Amino acid sequence: MRQQEQLRQQQQAAQQKAAQQDALKRQQELQQQEAAKQQQIQQQQLQAQMQQQRSQQPIDGLLSSGLGGNAIGSAGGSSIGSGSAIAPQQSLGGGATLANGDATASFLGGLNESFLHMPNSMDSERPRTYTPRNPYPTPSSYPTTPAPIFESQAFFDKVGMDCLFFIFYYSQGSYQQFLAAKELKKQSWRFHKKYSTWFQRHEEPKMTTDEYEEGTYVYFDYETGWCQRIKSDFRFEYSYLEDSLQ
């Protein structure tokens, strides 16, 4: 019995020691995490200071390059000269120097404020807002805006002909219609403004002048059959050719 009691006490002591070691290990891990967090905060503060210093460099450069000297009236002003800058200060006294210093500080403050609010390249682009043409109530899981891939020319390079014609005729006035027309033109289709139809040469024209060409063409019938048909002896007048797409 005594040996069993000693064995149980040894086991309890071992468990307590293991628990203490686990607690010490967790405490060390928490300290390491806290130290890493503090280091990250210090790095962010250092980056903010460096960025602030960079923003002050244009102002400091203007001050050191002679802009402040011309405003204050120092001898370093290149456009005023030493004599003309010092003479007003000698005649007016310290009040003129103080006034010039206030004007310079006000000017540099306004210049710094303008620099902080300097427009970037995104300000020149009008934000695109999507407005559905035929709004319909849908579940919240449905997307509310078109996928960005539908505004990529690379996507339209992989689209079939029927899809290109469908987008062109059923997405009037949209950017997708422009991309579809651009891809159709790249595949040697030409848009006839009088018939609102896309034509493609089936063979070389039999007759070509400065005003028209005549021959056999393939055209897309979007009104009756939604298919490609062949038109023989068709005269394509260049005045009806849509040639503004690039």
CA distance 188 to 79: 63
Q: Are 173 and 150 in contact (CB under 8 A)?
A: no
**pLDDT for the residue numbered 204:** 94
Q: What percent of the chain has pLDDT over 90?
A: 35
Is pTM beyond 0.85 here?
Answer: no
Indicate the pLDDT class of residue 91, thresholds 50, 70 and 90: very low
What is residue 20's three-state secondary structure?
helix
Can you tell me which residue has the tokens 């018939």? Answer: 195
The DSSP element (H or E) to which 132 belongs, if any, is none
Residue-wise pLDDT tens digits, 62-83: 555 544 444 434 444 444 344 4
Residue-wise pLDDT tens digits, 105-157: 888 888 888 877 777 766 666 667 778 888 888 898 988 888 889 889 999 99
What is the architecture of the domain spanning 149-240? Roll (2.30)
Can you tell me which residue has the tokens 């038109």? Answer: 231
CA distance 32 to 240: 75
**pLDDT for the residue numbered 19:** 72
* Domain layout of the chain by residue ranges: 2-116, 149-240
Q: Tokens for 136, please give them.
A: 């319909």
CA 61, 64, 69, 70 torsion-angle sign? negative
